[in-house]
Amino acid sequence: MRLKWLGVLITVLLFGCASNGPKEDEQAAEEAPAVEEVAQVDVAAADPEPEVSAPAEEAVAESEPAVEAESADAEVVALDEEVVAADPGPNVVNLSSAGWLGGLNLSQEQLAAIKKAVEKSFVLKIDQIAPCSEDRLGCEVRAAREWVYDGERHRNIVVNVHTVGHASNTVYQINGEWPQVVTQ
């Protein structure tokens, strides 16, 4: 009895199913060929590709490269426009971008409050909290670190929206000015 259950257990572990006896195995064997026959009929019923005359092929070949070149140029222009729209410049922080808070579901009011707090964090002392909500600790922004590299000040800004998410990014001054903060 134990050997039979051991065999069933090994079968289940190896093949993911257990056989309930020879009747079920016979039914499975009878159903499998029917599926294969249907697949063979579908393949045989498929229409062959229509034949195209040689002059028609040449005419199509001559017209296609021009269309492909035009669409390729249009794609490059479209990609260039996307890059310009996605990268507003080195001295702009977009809080709605994926690198900041773009993945969080925040309202425009919340983003406006966070924008003000981020701007305050540029001048506050390190680890001093700038609240961005009426609730205590509901939303806070702080500058975690500051360092100078190549004569420019850098700050790591941390935004924490309680129960929603957080972001941490580095901003830096260019010619002594902190970046502009936008929410678009």
Q: Which of 49-53, 94-98, 121-125, 169-173 has the lowest mean pLDDT?
A: 49-53
**Domain count along the chain:** 1
In a domain, 6, yes or no: no
Neighbour-count burial of 58, counting CB atoms closer than 10 A to its CB (0-12 exposed, 13-18 middle, 19+ buried): exposed
The sign one gets for the Cα dihedral 12, 15, 17, 22 is negative
Q: Residue 137: give the domain boundaries.
A: 92-182
Q: Select the more confidently predicted residue: 75 or 131.
A: 131
pLDDT at site 51: 56
What lies within 8 Å, CB to CB, of 89 at 6+ separation is: none
Mean pLDDT in residue range 141-156:
93
Q: Select the more confidently predicted residue: 116 or 15.
A: 116
Helix-, strand-, coil-residue percentages of the chain, each rounded to 5 = 45, 20, 30
In a domain, 57, yes or no: no
Q: Is pLDDT above 70 for 93?
A: yes
In a domain, 125, yes or no: yes
| Two tokens, residue 52 | 């195209």
At residue 161 the predicted structure's pLDDT band, cuts being 50, 70 and 90, is very high
> Coil, helix or strand for 145?
strand
In a domain, 28, yes or no: no
- Residue given tokens 């260019």 in the structure block: 174
In a domain, 42, yes or no: no
Residues 138 and 162: beta-carbon distance below 8 Å: yes
pLDDT at site 136: 74
In a domain, 120, yes or no: yes
pLDDT at site 129: 93
- Residue given tokens 């970046």 in the structure block: 179
Partners of residue 166 on adjacent β-strands: 160
E strands, the chain, in order: 92-94, 129-131, 139-149, 152-161, 165-172, 180-182
At residue 21 the predicted structure's pLDDT band, cuts being 50, 70 and 90, is low
In a domain, 176, yes or no: yes
pLDDT at site 181: 94
Q: Is pLDDT above 90 for 39?
A: no
Neighbour-count burial of 173, counting CB atoms closer than 10 A to its CB (0-12 exposed, 13-18 middle, 19+ buried): middle
pLDDT at site 16: 59
In a domain, 53, yes or no: no
pLDDT at site 138: 85
What lies within 8 Å, CB to CB, of 144 at 6+ separation is: 126, 127, 155, 156, 157, 158, 168
Q: Select the more confidently predicted residue: 48 or 15.
A: 15
